[in-house]
Amino acid sequence: MGAELRRDDMEVAEEDISDSQAFRFVEHVLQSVRMDPFQVDLRDKEEYDSLLSIVDSSKKRSYDDEALLVTTLKALSEAVSKIDIMYHHALLNNAAVADQFLRECLQMLVNNFTPPGSLTAFIGQPRWLARKKEIYSQLHESLRMISDTVPLAPRMLKDIIDRSMPKLFDNKAKMVSFVECMLGLDNDRMGDLIGALLLAKVVDLLTELDALFGGNACAEKLDGLMVVFCEHLKSCKEHGRLPQEFDILKTIFRASVLRVHKSKFAQFIMFYACSLDPEICGLEFALFLSDIFIKKEEDSISRLVDWCVDYCDLQNNIRITTKPINHQIFYASCQAVMYILCFRLRSIMDYPNLKAQLFNMPFGYILTHPLEPLKVCLPSIVDEFLRQAKAARLFNASVHSEFEDALESDLSKTFGGMNRLDMFFPFDPYLLKESDRYMRPNFEYWSMVKTTYNNYNSDVDDELVDLDAPEMNVGSLDDHVEIDLNSDDDLEYSMNKMSITPNRSFFHQIMANSDTGLTMPARIRPSISPPS
């Protein structure tokens, strides 16, 4: 953009000059009058007076005058360091505005983070996408210029954004538009000033939706926000800002996400960030979690098992209540140990020192305790764990026989166990369809895992096909199979299909041959142990 920076009383060539030339001219004028007024050169004084005339808010302006004012204000915003409150007092009186106008100005810009109501339904259409990006860019540039010119603006902007955040009952388009525009401020100078607040507000919104997860509308909002956040992280990676962003996210994760009960999806933003930079962010996050949960001399399984043993000992000294709801953390810990070993037992067996540690752990004491974790944890996890433990000879024969009896008499009564855990944390499958593309490449699927019984039962391995293999999606299941995220049965089906559930044809066969509905067999090998 060029501007004709001249006045009749200035001997300046009449041709247009570039913005950069105008900026240099304004800097020169400001610098030339930073001295005692009696020492200022007369020509410099005239140029400074002309500058005052350009920014005089009391004058009516033509179109050319407006363009000249815009260029001059841009130049002044770039030359803030040259402005001196003592020598440029008259200029500041003209160019600066009172604080009461600043808040209204910032609020107006933040209000435009979301499109007008009449456009909300069409904002995702291709013809509006380019226009949306253009508007976002203009909003970001305006807020940056104001923040550079008025030092108190970022603090005021924080408060305005906090008050303007979308509410849970707002529609998806409004939520996504606001968050997308807001995260665009999290870069360069603005990111240094308010980036931590922006990330914290988005994560808070994600966790609120996650904790209240229910119904398709809620799922779609959460899904859309996850897409926006993942795109933001990918942009940070491309521009070399991911490590700084990740440091902020770690603090937010510990303060917010870890405290949320029944979080299913919000934690995946951390896993996605780690996948973008596994050598730095991934290792850093692993050490971060280790500092929280694990003593430096212990591994994760040892810590979990030791905690479970301590919990069992504590229950031996007090009156045991058999209601699973009173022991949710214990059952979740038992299930986590079994799930980890389903995936890692084979690889642990290849390391003598790790194998020796594992065989010294009191699994029998925990799993046969009167709290009966085998009756509460997901049957599919229990069954697969016992199958691998038997092949690895992790238990002696008598202990394993006791487990099998419990499974046959109790867990097989109803699909889902007698008292199924209502959560699969920390191993929830990712069921959000739109943002699934960011998470899917980072999953280790059951079909990729080598088990302890691979060498002995290869003839039945095909019966354990992963229903959620990389080429499939939650949304690509058979047309007659619908998953209701509010239904406990369907949710467990979705959870199980992530790893170790038998293929669907086996389920259909059970349903056809059973008068009582779907039952859970004692083993995942239906050809050997079919339900009666």
Q: HEC string of 234-271?
A: HHHHHCCCHHHHHHHHHHHHHHCHHHCCCCCCCCHHHH
| Closest to 343 measured CA to CA, from 400, 385, 283 | 385
Q: What's the CA gap between 477 and 480, in Å, rounded?
A: 8
Q: Classify residue 350 by its DSSP letter.
A: T
pLDDT of residue 343: 85
Phi, psi torsion values for 56, nearest 5 degrees: -65, 115
pLDDT of residue 293: 63
DSSP structure string for 145-185: HHHHH-TTHHHHHHHHHHHHPPPTTS-HHHHHHHHHHHHTT
Q: Classify residue 282 by its DSSP letter.
A: I
Give strand pairing partners of 2.
18
Q: What's the CA gap between 457 and 451, in Å, rounded?
A: 10
Give me the amino acid identity at 371.
Answer: L
Q: Tell me the pLDDT tens digit for each residue of 152-204.
A: 889 999 999 999 999 988 989 899 999 999 999 987 678 888 989 999 999 99
Q: What's the CA gap between 434 and 450, in Å, rounded?
A: 30
Whether omega before 154 lies within 30 degrees of 0, making that bond cis, reads no
Place of tokens 């005021």: 156
Cα 514–chain centre separation: 43
What does the mean pLDDT of the chain come to? 74
Angle between helices 242-255 and 188-211 in degrees, nearest 10: 40
Taking residue 95's Cβ as centre, other Cβ atoms within 10 Å add up to 21
Measure Cα distances from 319 to 310, 324, 366 in Å: 15, 14, 17
Phi, psi torsion values for 167, nearest 5 degrees: -95, 160
Measure Cα distances from 451 to 96, 118, 447, 461 in Å: 71, 57, 10, 10
Q: What's the CA gap between 139 and 108, in Å, rounded?
A: 10
Give me the amino acid identity at 315.
Answer: Q
Decide if 304 contacts 336 (C-beta within 8 A): yes
Q: What residues contact 9, with CB distance under 8 A and at least 6 apart?
A: 46, 50
* Structure tokens belonging to residue 398: 């008598």
pLDDT of residue 475: 36
pLDDT of residue 99: 64
Decide if 285 contacts 447 (C-beta within 8 A): no
| Closest to 490 measured CA to CA, from 412, 408, 429 | 429
Per-residue pLDDT of the chain (532 residues; tens, 9 = 90+): 444 444 444 444 444 556 778 788 888 888 888 888 788 888 888 888 888 888 877 777 788 888 888 888 888 878 877 888 788 877 777 655 556 678 888 999 999 999 887 777 777 778 788 888 899 999 999 999 888 878 888 999 999 999 999 998 898 989 999 999 999 998 767 888 898 999 999 999 999 998 886 667 788 999 999 999 999 999 999 999 999 999 999 999 988 888 777 778 888 999 999 999 999 998 888 888 777 665 555 566 888 899 999 999 988 887 766 677 788 888 888 988 998 898 889 888 888 988 998 999 999 899 888 888 888 888 888 888 988 998 888 876 556 556 665 554 444 333 344 444 544 544 567 888 999 999 888 877 777 777 777 754 444 444 344 333 333 333 333 333 333 444 444 444 443 433 332 233 333 333 344 343 333 222 222 222 233 3
Q: Tell me the pLDDT tens digit for each residue of 517-531.
A: 333 222 222 222 233
Decide if 334 contacts 390 (C-beta within 8 A): no
Q: What's the CA gap between 400 and 388, in Å, rounded?
A: 11
Place of tokens 């388009």: 173
Decide if 62 contacts 12 (C-beta within 8 A): no
Q: What's the CA gap between 352 and 390, in Å, rounded?
A: 18
Taking residue 225's Cβ as centre, other Cβ atoms within 10 Å add up to 27
* Structure tokens belonging to residue 203: 């994560």
Reported residue count of the chain is: 532
pTM score > 0.95 for this model?
Answer: no
Give strand pairing partners of 398.
none
